[in-house]
Amino acid sequence: MSENILQVQALYERHPYPHYPLWAKPLWADGYLGSSLFAGQLILGTAPDLKKPRNFLSIGSGEILPYILRQWEPPSTHLHCVDLSQRSLSRAKFRTAFLGRQVSYTRGDINYILRQALFGKMVVDQAEAYGVLHHIPSFKTTLELVRDRLSPSGILRIMVYNRHARDWIWDISRAFAQLGLHFNSDRDVVLARDLLKKLALVSPRLSLRLSQMGRLSLENNTRFADTFLHPWESRASINTWFATIKSAGLKPMALYDRYGELDDLPNPLWQCPTAEQLTARARDLRFENNLELWLMRDDYQADKMVNVRPTGLTGPRPVSNIPWRLRLARPPQKFNYFDETKKLSFAKKWILWQEFLRTLHQSAGPQVGHPPVPEAKILKVIEDMAPNTRSRLGRIGLILPSTARDVGLYREMLQPMVPLMSPPALPDPAGAQVTLEVTRLCAEIQTSPQKSAQATARFIRAM
Average pLDDT over residues 268-292: 98
Neighbouring C-beta atoms of residue 5, cutoff 10 Å = 21
The answer to whether residue 320 scores a pLDDT higher than 60 is no
Give CA–CA dist 377/456, Å, rounded.
Answer: 61
Please give the residue that has the higher pLDDT: either 210 or 377: 210
The answer to whether residue 211 scores a pLDDT higher than 80 is yes
Average pLDDT over residues 151-169: 97
Average pLDDT over residues 157-172: 97
Residue 41's nearest CA partner among 318, 409, 339, 355 is 355
Give residue 377's pLDDT band: very low, low, confident or very high (50, 70, 90). confident
Give CA–CA dist 88/85, Å, rounded.
Answer: 5
Give CA–CA dist 353/393, Å, rounded.
Answer: 11
pLDDT at position 452, please?
97
Please give the residue that has the higher pLDDT: either 94 or 214: 94
pLDDT at position 120, please?
86
The answer to whether residue 303 scores a pLDDT higher than 80 is no
Measured N-to-C along each axis, helices 65-72 and 86-96 cross at an angle, to the nearest 10 degrees, of 40
Please give the residue that has the higher pLDDT: either 296 or 213: 296
pLDDT at position 222, please?
94
Average pLDDT over residues 298-311: 59
pLDDT at position 321, please?
76
Please write the tens of the pLDDT for every residue from 175-204: 999 999 999 999 999 999 999 999 999 999
Please state the domain extents for the chain.
Answer: 3-164+233-303, 165-232+428-462
Residue 247's nearest CA partner among 381, 101, 132, 143 is 143
Per DSSP, the residues of 296-309 read: EETT--GGG-----
Give residue 47's pLDDT band: very low, low, confident or very high (50, 70, 90). confident
Strand order in the sheet with 250-255: 103-107, 77-83, 54-59, 124-130, 150-160, 291-297, 250-255
pLDDT at position 369, please?
41
pLDDT at position 378, please?
85
pLDDT at position 134, please?
98
Give residue 437's pLDDT band: very low, low, confident or very high (50, 70, 90). very high
State whether CATH 3.40.50.300 applies to domain 3-164+233-303.
Answer: no
pLDDT at position 312, please?
40
The H or E element spanning position 106 is: strand 103-107
pLDDT at position 318, please?
47
pLDDT at position 363, please?
59
Give residue 373's pLDDT band: very low, low, confident or very high (50, 70, 90). low
Residue 103, strand partner residues? 79
The answer to whether residue 264 scores a pLDDT higher than 60 is yes
pLDDT at position 408, please?
92
pLDDT at position 302, please?
61
Average pLDDT over residues 52-70: 96
The H or E element spanning position 68 is: helix 65-72
Break the chain down into helix, strand, coil percent, rounded to 5.
50, 10, 40
pTM for the complete prediction?
0.93
pLDDT at position 187, please?
96
Give CA–CA dist 193/102, Å, rounded.
Answer: 40
Per DSSP, the residues of 233-286 read: -----HHHHHHHHHHTTEEEEEE--TTS--TTSS-TTTSPPPHHHHHHHHHTTS
pLDDT at position 223, please?
94
Cα angle value 410/416/417 (rounded, 5°): 100
pLDDT at position 118, please?
77
